[in-house]
């Protein structure tokens, strides 16, 4: 599950270092809008966090991309997506019932 705190950090333009897991990859592209590290590699996590704290020049572009990347991750968009999916399922069931009648 994707955390709201991750989305809030991205929206704030924070330099995000996160685990390379499926939910996180939905919003973070390694080296584009944040950095991903292997979930089980503690040393890689430490290296990336130290790199982020050193604020290398490329972090400016990453942070700007982070702010931009969350525009598609809003509650309103999420609800709209779920509603469209539910309506499609409901419509499919109605259509199936009509064909059986």
- Domain presence at residue 78: no
Residue ranges making up the domain that contains 9: 4-71
- Domain presence at residue 36: yes
Alpha carbons within 13 angstroms on the beta-carbon side of residue 101 total: 6
Looking up residue 32, the CATH number of its domain turns out to be 3.40.50.2000
- Domain presence at residue 99: no
- Domain presence at residue 95: no
Contact by Cβ (8 Å): 52, 32:
no
- Domain presence at residue 82: no
Our CA angle for 8, 13, 18, nearest 5°, is 65
Domains in the chain, number: 1
Which residue shows structure tokens 């990453």?
62
Residues 87, 37: Cα–Cα separation, whole Å = 38
Contact by Cβ (8 Å): 54, 62:
no
pLDDT tens-digit readout, 26-77:
999 999 999 999 999 999 999 999 999 997 787 899 999 999 988 777 777 7
- Domain presence at residue 40: yes
Q: Provide the whole-model pTM.
A: 0.71
């Amino acid at each position: 599950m994707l955390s709201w705190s991750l989305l809030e950090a991205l929206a704030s333009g924070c330099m995000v270092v996160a685990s390379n897991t499926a939910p996180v990859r939905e919003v973070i592209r390694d080296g584009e809008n944040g950095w991903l590290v292997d979930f089980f590699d503690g040393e890689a996590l430490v290296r990336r966090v130290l790199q982020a704290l050193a604020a290398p020049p490329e972090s400016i572009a990453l942070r700007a991309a982070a702010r931009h990347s969350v525009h598609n991750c809003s509650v309103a968009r999420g609800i709209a997506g779920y509603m469209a999916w539910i309506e499609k399922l409901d419509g499919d069931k109605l259509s199936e019932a009509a064909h059986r009648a």
